[in-house]
């Protein structure tokens, strides 16, 4: 990239660290930005620079949210507040939302039980889940955990923990590729797994 001025080379170099952006793609983006109006460039810079301060996690469910606010799902008065879908990471919420099937709330655990990598019950966001179930008087908890050993162990733990409460505990139907992360499943597959969910 010696043909470019150092500032442009540095930008291209940085862009290649983004997921899905190769050297050629980074070059095209940087060259396109050269033609942008200064205001548009400043807007982009401000949005990126403000990410750590402006985008945080929802205090209720753990989804991404604007700083000082609940997430768009919790804020939406049209969502069914008696159903909570439990996921491992916030990235999975977007995948489930894409299926356009689910209308309830979410709860992000922050991982799954994995004794080998040192992730135990106390490392997961379970206490808040129990508080929310009580506060919302939830009628159904959907365990949308990965179809791998750790995900299923986590589902089994939560299933047992919630036993005896007056609510339905369900899990996704089979059909998600074994060992896969829900985040990368396609919308139709997730929709079918949600629709066919069965009682734990």
- Note the residues at the interface with Zn ion (CB under 5 A): 58, 60-61, 63, 70-71, 74
Indicate the residue among 60 and 88 with the shorter CB distance to Zn ion. Answer: 60
Shortest Cβ distance from residue 59 to Zn ion (Å)?
8
Would you give the DSSP letter of residue 115? G
**Residue 133, number of CB atoms within 10 A of its CB:** 18
Q: Which residues make Cβ contacts (< 8 Å) with residue 25, sequence separation at least 6?
A: 15, 16
Q: Are strands 64-66 and 55-57 parallel, antiparallel or unpaired?
A: antiparallel
> Smallest distance, Å, CB 87 to Zn ion?
12
What's the CA gap between 101 and 103, in Å, rounded?
7
Residue closer to Zn ion (CB basis): 61 or 133: 61
Residue 77 CB, nearest distance to Zn ion (Å)?
Answer: 13
Q: Provide the minimum distance between the beta carbon of 36 and Zn ion in the complex, in angstroms, as a whole number.
A: 34
Toward Zn ion, which CB reaches closer, 11 or 144? Answer: 144
Shortest approach of Zn ion to residue 1 CB, angstroms? 43
Residue closer to Zn ion (CB basis): 18 or 67: 67
Least distance in angstroms from the C-beta of 182 to Zn ion: 18
Of the pair 79, 168, the CB lying nearest Zn ion is at 79
The phi and psi torsions of 96 (rounded to 5 degrees) equal: -70, -40
Based on CB atoms, which residue is closest to Zn ion, 70 or 180?
70
- C-alpha closest to that of 103 among 48, 146, 55, 142: 142
């Amino acid at each position: 990239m010696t043909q470019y001025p150092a500032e442009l080379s540095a930008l291209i170099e940085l862009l290649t660290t983004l997921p899905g952006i190769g050297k050629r793609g980074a070059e095209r983006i940087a060259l396109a930005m050269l033609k942008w109006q200064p205001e548009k460039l400043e807007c982009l810079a401000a949005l990126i620079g403000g990410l750590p301060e402006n985008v945080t996690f929802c205090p209720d469910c753990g989804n991404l949210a604007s700083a000082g606010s609940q997430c768009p799902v919790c804020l939406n008065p049209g969502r069914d507040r008696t159903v909570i879908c439990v996921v491992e990471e916030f990235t999975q919420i977007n995948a489930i939302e894409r299926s356009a099937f689910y209308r309830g709330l979410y709860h992000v655990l922050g991982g799954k039980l994995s004794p080998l990598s040192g992730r135990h019950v106390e490392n997961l966001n379970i206490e808040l889940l129990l508080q929310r179930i009580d506060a919302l008087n939830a009628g159904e908890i959907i365990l949308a955990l990965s179809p791998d050993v750790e995900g299923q162990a986590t589902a089994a733990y939560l299933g047992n923990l919630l036993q005896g409460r007056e609510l339905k505990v369900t899990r996704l139907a089979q059909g998600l590729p074994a060992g896969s992360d829900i985040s990368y499943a396609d919308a139709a597959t997730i929709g079918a797994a949600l629709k066919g969910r069965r009682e734990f």
